[in-house]
Amino acid sequence: MSTTPSLIRVLQGETLERPPVWFMRQAGRYLPEYRALRAEAPDFIAFCLNPEMAAEATLQPMRRFGFDAAIVFADILLIPQALGQDVWFETGEGPKLGLMPSPGAMAEKAEAAGSHLYQVGETLSRVRAELEPERALIGFAGAPWTVATYMLDGHHNTIGKGERATARSYAYSDPDKVGAVLDALVEATARYLKMQADAGADALKIFESWAEGLPDDLFERLVMKPHQKLVARVRELGVTVPLIGFPRGSALHAERYAREVDVQGVALDTACSLERGREVQKIKPIQGALDPLLLRAGGKALDARVDQLMEAWGARPWIFNLGHGILPDVPIDHVERVLKRLGAQ
Residues annotated in a binding site: 25-29, 75, 150, 209, 324
Cα dist from 269 to 73, 184, 210, 215, 250, whole Å: 21, 27, 12, 18, 8
Instruction: Answer yes or no: is 338 within a domain.
Output: yes
Is 172 an active-site residue?
Answer: no
If DSSP codes are grouped into helix, strand and coil, which group holds residue 331?
coil
pTM: 0.96
**DSSP character for 152?**
H
Q: Is 75 a catalytic residue?
A: yes
CB 53 within 8 A of CB 46: no
> Of these residues, 18, 38, 64, 296, which one is catalytic?
38
1 occurs within a structural domain: no
CA dihedral 314, 251, 244, 307 (to 10 degrees): -20
In a domain, 16, yes or no: yes
**29 catalytically annotated:** yes
In a domain, 320, yes or no: yes
Per-residue pLDDT at 159? 41
- Residue 233 annotated to the active site: no
Which is the catalytic residue, given 30, 34, 150, 257? Answer: 150
Q: Based on the residue annotation, tell me whether 170 is a catalytic residue of this protein.
A: no
CATH at residue 206: 3.20.20.210
| 265-267 and 243-247 strand pairing | parallel
Work out how many domains the chain is built from and give that number.
1
**83, part of any domain:** yes
Please list the pLDDT of the chain residue by residue as tens digits (345 residues): 578 999 999 999 999 999 999 999 999 999 999 999 999 999 999 999 999 999 999 999 999 999 999 999 999 999 999 999 999 998 777 899 999 999 999 999 999 999 999 999 999 999 999 999 999 999 999 999 999 999 998 755 444 455 688 899 999 999 999 999 999 999 999 999 999 999 999 999 999 999 998 999 999 999 999 999 999 999 999 999 999 999 999 989 999 999 999 999 999 999 999 999 999 999 999 999 999 999 999 999 999 999 999 999 999 999 999 999 999 999 999 999 999 999 987
Residue 140 lies in a domain: yes
Look at residue 240 and tell me if it is in a domain: yes
Question: Among the options 9, 29, 64, 278, which is catalytic?
Answer: 29
Q: Which positions make up the binding site for substrate?
A: 25-29, 75, 150, 209, 324
Q: Which own/partner contact pairs does 163-171 have at CB distance under 8 Å and 24+ positions apart? A: 163/213, 164/210, 167/210, 168/214, 168/218, 171/218, 171/221, 171/222
Answer for the pair 286, 318: CB distance below 8 angstroms, yes or no. Answer: yes
Boundaries of domain holding 212: 6-342
